[in-house]
Structures are given as structure tokens and as C-alpha cells.
Amino acid sequence: EAGVVQSPRYKIIEKKQPVAFWCNPISGHNTLYWYLQNLGQGPELLIRYENEEAVDDSQLPKDRFSAERLKGVDSTLKIQPAELGDSAVYLCASSRAGHLGSGRNTGELFFGEGSRLTVL
Amino acid sequence: GENVEQHPSTLSVQEGDSAVIKCTYSDSASNYFPWYKQELGKRPQLIIDIRSNVGEKKDQRIAVTLNKTAKHFSLHITETQPEDSAVYFCAARYSSASKIIFGSGTRLSIRP
């Protein structure tokens, strides 16, 4: 089974430039998450999708960040314009269901390798 | 608000000794508590999880305990080995929003 795929793995841009990250979740996983991870910190949730619907975007800085998950599969996270403080790793994760079910592994998050952003 | 506190932030133990990492959560309705291991430059990976209807779960050298009354849970690693060196994150699923909140991580180092 293919894992969560993210691209690009690394991106270096100058401040005020736009940047976009792409995520392809595990096939059949209807829940998709975007997390931000600063160095030495735990992942912080930015947005969560159930299929194509964004059900939790309360932590997404909507003045510069946007996300979409057209057709409920792949997702794109965009930052425009980027600021110095946006330098971080952007992690995408997927899970089989949005709530705990009876399955042993239901609810487990599978993470991608992450996209490391450096804003100069 | 929703919060997961994790301690210690760094931990160094002698190879073969045990390591314990502790976390507390704020929402008493939380019902799922996973632990993730993240090696340098790699993705976080689930190593063990526990649900609120269970007090303890063990998988070979790792175990997790949950105290719902006190709202805290712990990861125990016995007979530590060099490959256990990594950053460990606890997390809690907040049932009100079905989202997973992570702790700030513990960097575990195993001394040879």
C-alpha cells in the first residue's frame, strides 16, 4: 500500500512570494489533515477535511493561507504571501475515518514525509 | 481550551534502562490517545495507542497507561536500545471536534 505522498519535499522562497504544497492521501482514507511542525515542536493542526469538506479550519491563518481538496482526494495548501515566520515543515496526514469506529486501527494518522519550507 | 502537556522535553537514559514520558490532557471527553515516534528528518509514526475504555496496553517493550480521573497518560519503554533514540509525541483526540492535538514532544537519547 502506498503511503501519504507530499511534494515538494523542500522549498526555499523569498518572503512575500507564494508557495503551494500538494498531498495525495492513502487510497480510501476520507479524512485528510494539514499540520505545521516547527523545529523541536509537535505538529499543530491547520485544517482537517472529511472528504471534500473542511470541517475544522479554526487554526488556519486565513489571511494568507488557503487549502482545497477538490473531489475529496488530493489536497493543496497554499501560502500567499509567505512570511519569514512561515518557515516550518508542513505535514499532511490521512486516516480511514473521521471518528473512532470498531476497527483496531481506526483513527490512526498516517503522515507524509512533509514539505520543508524555508522563507528568506 | 484543548491542550496536551508533555514532560520531559528531553530525556537521556542508559541503554537497557527504562524511559517514561508523561502527558496530561484538558478535555475529559477525550477518548483516544496515540503515541508517535519521529526519527530525525522522518515522518511521525504511530507506535502504540490506547482508548479511554482501557487502563493499560502493552506491545513488547513499550506500554501505555491511562488515568482518566487524573487526565494523564504515560509511555513506558523498557530495556531501551539505541534505536529507541528519537522524538516521541503524545496526542489526544478531542471528541467534541474529532481532532488530534499533539504534545510538544520528548527528545529521548539512549546512552551506550
> pLDDT tens digits, residue range B66-102?
999 999 999 999 999 999 999 999 999 976 556 889 9
Residues of B whose CB is below 8 A from A54: none
Looking at residue A5, its amino acid is: V
Residue carrying C-alpha cell 511534494: A7
Q: How many CB atoms lie within 10 A of CB A55?
A: 14
B87 neighbors B108 (Cβ within 8 angstroms): yes
Give dist(CA A36, CA B61) in Å, integer. 30
Give dist(CA A33, CA A106) in Å, integer. 15
Interface test with B, best of A38, A41, A94, A95 (most B CBs within 10 A): A41
pLDDT at B14 over 50: yes
| pLDDT at residue A96 in the model | 84
Q: Do B99 and A40 touch (CB under 8 A)?
A: no
Residue A21 C-alpha from the chain's centroid: 8
| pLDDT at residue A108 in the model | 85
Give dist(CA B62, CA B18) in Å, integer. 10
Residues of A whose CB is below 8 A from B49: 107-108
pLDDT, one tens digit per residue, over A30-85 is 899 999 999 889 999 999 998 999 988 888 999 999 999 988 899 999 999 999 99
Q: Do B102 and A56 touch (CB under 8 A)?
A: no
Identify the CA nearest to B88 among candidates B51, B34, B52, B50: B34
Q: Can you list the positions of beta strands (E) in chain B?
A: 4-7, 10-14, 19-25, 32-38, 45-51, 56-59, 62-67, 72-77, 86-94, 99-102, 106-111
Strands A5-7, A19-24: pairing kind:
antiparallel
Cell numbers at A2, concatenated: 502506498
